[in-house]
Each structure stands twice: as C-alpha cells, then as structure tokens.
Structure 1
Amino acid sequence: MDFSLDLPTGPLAEAVLATVRTTETPAVANHSVRSFLFAELLAAHEGCLDDAAYDRDLLFAATVLHDLGTGSLAKGEARFEVEGADLAADLLRRHAVPEADVDRVWEAIALHTSPGIAERRGLLSHLTRAGVGTDFGLNADVVAHQADRIHAAYPRLAMVRSLVDAIVERAARSDAAAPLHSLPGDLLRERRAGGLTGLERSAASCPWGE
C-alpha cells in the first residue's frame, strides 16, 4: 500500500470534515482524522483493502464522526456514543447514503467503546474501534512508520484531556448520558471523585503522548 495523507473527497466527505471542525474541539477533530488514517494502515496490515466489506468512504464517515457526541450538536440526553451515532446517521441520510450503510456507520460509532463487541460486528466496526484505539497507543508497532507524518499533519493538542472534558461535560447533563458501567459514566464518576480519570493517567504510557 502506498500510504497517503490524502482524505476522501466529494460532498459527503466535505460535510463530514466540516461538521467535526465546526462542532468539536480542534484536538478531538484531529483525533478523529488520525483515527481514520490509522484505521487505513491497519486495514492494509490485515489485508482488508480488497475485502468486499471494505468501504473507504464509510470508514472515513465512521472514524471521523465517531466522537460527534462530544461536540456542540450533542444534547447530553444519551451516552455520547449513541448521540454521536444518531447525529452521524442524520448527516449520512441528508447525503442519500443507503440505509443499510447508514446502519453500519451507526453501529460502528455506537460500539467504538465496546471491546469484544465491536470486533464481532463486521469489518467497519472492527476497523473503527481499532483506528480509534491506535490513537490511544494500541497497535503502535504496526503504524509507527507513518505516525510522525500523521501527527505532524494533525497534532494531538492535549487530545486526551480535551476529549475527557467533552465527554464528562455531556455525561453530567442527564442520568441517561452516564449509565453505570459505561465509559461516559465511569469518566464522570472518576472526575468527580478525584479530578483525574484513568483514561488521562493512561496517556502517560501512550507512545504518542497526550
């Protein structure tokens, strides 16, 4: 694979990028684009690029929109993964994406914090979760040869802290946004109890830093 930092083009891709850049913090928006680029590298490493289930445009939509529930469009009425999936689905429908593909993107976003489940729900969900995880340091050896280029183009900007702040702020808006044993619920309780969450502490061991 001849890896490129070039992103998908066209009305849908442009709408996806415009949405995250105008509704999320710059740190979270950069994280989302890096997640796509890492997911592409993982797909190549796993030999998935020629798989019939591989769709670059849908992977771009799922990874780049996966934290839409942390942005200004989210109301904090449900956990951020679900709100983000709903918002992404609305965007895709406005661009006449087939409903079956909308559902695949919805599922990939809704499950991206669900280890052991996302990996069993098809290639798109698997690659979305894997790309996101790589930006937190997983599979670092697989993508290390391109990591500097990716981070130069899309700097981290204290991403972990920015993302946790956004998740916690929305989780605090309603009980439904922070259910027990969910990532937003755990982050909210950790933040209220001690100020620093486990996710933020883990950034110290991430090869990319915060």
Structure 2
Amino acid sequence: MEIVWDAIALHLCVEVAARKRPEIALVSAGAGYDLGPEGPALPPGYADRVHAVLPRLHAAAVLHDSIVGQALDKPHKAPPYSMPGELVRQVTHGSWPTWRQLMETSPWNDYAGHQPSA
C-alpha cells in the first residue's frame, strides 16, 4: 500500500520519483506520457493501438475541469504556486503575490531593514 501511495503522491514530481523504486518511477513516467509524451519515442502506431482499446475520452480536458472544480470547492487543495493553484489562477484570472509580498505577510519580518545586495 505504501508503494502505491508513494507512486500516486509523487507522480508529478519527476525528479523525486525517478530516484525511488521502479514502480514509483514508472508511474511518474507513465503520467508524463499520458499528458504529453516526454522521453523516448513510442514505437510507430503504439499510441493508436492503445487508444483503440482504451480511448482517451477527452482525458486532459476532464482532468483539468476536475482539478479546477475541486479547487474552487476546496481552495486549500490549490495553494499558490502549485499546479492546481495555477490552473485555478488561469481560469479565474487571479494573481499571486510576489515573493516579497508573500514573505512580508509572515510574522518573521525578514525584510525589515534588509538592504538588497544588487
């Protein structure tokens, strides 16, 4: 169960997943091919044969709509700078704070008295 959980949790973290056990790396590689083939070219006709048996059914559009719908319903699922957050930002035309604006809202006062080096 832990391997499956890790594979799902890390499937979009390509650099991390590639360093984990083969099952996890393969799920990540497969997700990459599913969203836009990256990596070695598939053999000619391979994708067509797979899609003849397992049609995509507008997979990318449905996935997008599902992610955005869940995030709008539960905003904690789409924090700024995350992939779900970016999809919501694109749909709502919202904006995100700059790094400095984000850090200035923290209680640590990291920018108080700071003189930029450049």
TM-score, normalised relative to structure 1:
0.41
Kept after mapping to 2: 8 A contact 1:113/1:183: no
Match 1:125 to one of 15, 20, 24: 24
- In structure 2, how many angstroms separate the alpha carbons of the residues matched to 1:171 and 1:143? 37
2:113 matched residue in structure 1: none
1:178 matched residue in structure 2: 78
Identity of aligned residues (%): 38
| SS across alignment from 1:130 | helix
| SS across alignment from 2:67 | helix
Call closer, same or farther: CA 1:192–1:124 in 2, change over 3 Å: same
Q: Which amino acid aligns with 1:149?
A: R
Q: Could you list the per-position Cα deviations for residues 4-42 of structure 1 after superposition, in whole angstroms to 9, with x for gaps in the alignment?
A: xxxxxxxxxxxxxxxxxxxxxxxxxxxxxxxxxxxxxxx
Q: Is there any run of 5+ residues in structure 2 with no aligned partner, and where? A: 95-118
Call closer, same or farther: CA 1:143–1:151 in 2, change over 3 Å: same
- In structure 1, how many angstroms separate the alpha carbons of the residues matched to 2:51 and 2:45? 12
| SS across alignment from 1:141 | coil
Match 2:68 to one of 138, 155, 168: 168
List structure 1 runs of 4+ shifted beyond 4 angstroms. none
Q: Which amino acid aligns with 1:167?
A: I
Q: Which has the larger radius of gyration?
A: 2
CA RMSD of aligned residues (A): 1.9
Q: More helix by proportion, 1 or 2? A: 1
- In structure 2, how many angstroms separate the alpha carbons of the residues matched to 1:143 and 1:119? 22
TM-score, normalised relative to structure 2:
0.69
Higher normalized contact order (CA 8 Å, seq sep 6+, divided by chain length):
1
